[in-house]
Copies of this chain bind each other. A is one copy, B any other.
Amino acid sequence: MATKRTRRHPVRQTTISDIAELAGVSKATVSRVMNGVPTVAEDIAERVRAAIDELGYTPSQTARSLSLGVSRTIGVLVPDLSNPMFHQVLHGVHRAAAADGYRVLVADTLEDEAGEAASAIDIRNRTDAVVLIAPRMTRPELLDLLPRVQPVAVVNRTTGRNAAVAQVDYATGIQTLAQHLVDLGHERIAFLSGPEASRSNHERLRGLIAFRETHPDIEIRELACGSGFEDGYRAWDAVRGSGATAVLAFNDIVALGLLGRLDEEGVRVPDDLSVTGFDDIPFSRYSAPPLTTMTVDLPGVGAAVWRELHDEIGGGLRRDPVVFTPALTVRASTGPRP
């Protein structure tokens, strides 16, 4: 008989064996009690429960997942938790998944594009599936990653049917906004563009190119900007230089940053300048003035992506990508051309 191997583990919580021993039953019985299997004699079950209580036992999810081959948990990868747009989607995923009895674990990549794939693989290897929200990685990297993390769903990126997809139609949305400004009489419009690498920024650009073709008389000037408050704040000089009477900001955050600057500069909105955002984050209704923007059903996007993912976990067929078309929400930040 070989002597017992010794492998000291750093932490030793209470395990099912401790309960079994204390209650004087087998591990199987403890497991049955824990999982509510009804074929356990009431007096035995009671003894087990007492032991569980006494030792404060909670089963290791790690061991459970390994044994079951399933964790009923999904991972969500977010580039930046501080962006309200992302956590609205996250919220939608969360609610929908919870309704189906799934837990959600979130990993924030802190906009570290390099570590994105590794994070995705890591979280996938602890969960049953992952959703990638607006991943920053390049398309080849994404296409390389997807097969390694199936089942997987992706928000706001195209994947050529290599994953479930839900996305927002930014191209159409930005045109709706532009049309709104044109209807108000504006002829010179500035577009504060987002990050160079952003797919959704390209979509907007694509939309504006289409818009120009149908409106040759309207001038739309692209101004490099960014996606943060500070970017919008700093964009004022460029906007002033452009002679525009209206601004299409990349998103609400940028618009809000610009609004702050305009207030400081004494520029009246919308009397002197009209400003629009995109996404309709919760704060946009409370800014001074309230922001005209495109409202996107972000929680709906999250719910849709979960539905697709859930199908895939269940082995169902992949559906077609779900496209959300945003709706114009007119508030007080836009008005007639001065």
Contacts and interface: CB of A to CB of B under 8 A. Distances in A.
Contacts of A261: 286
Given A81-B91, A82-B91, A288-B260, A11 B70 contact: yes
Interface in A83-141: 84, 87-88, 90-91, 94-95, 98, 103-108, 110, 119, 121-126, 128
B91 A110 contact: yes
Interface in A303-319: none
Contacts of A338: none
A74 to B, nearest CB: 12
A285 B103 CA distance: 36
A290 interface: yes
Given A81-B106, A107-B104, A62 B125 contact: yes
B95 A90 contact: no
Contact of A125 (B58, B119, B232, B289): B58
How many subunits of this chain does the assembly comprise? 2
Contacts of A104: 107-108
A161 interface: no
Most buried by B among A90, A125, A148, A264: A125
Given A62-B65, A104-B107, 20 more contacts: A9-B69, A11-B69, A58-B148, A61-B122, A62-B62, A62-B71, A63-B66, A81-B91, A91-B108, A95-B110, A98-B110, A103-B122, A105-B106, A105-B107, A232-B286, A256-B286, A259-B288, A260-B285, A260-B290, A287-B288
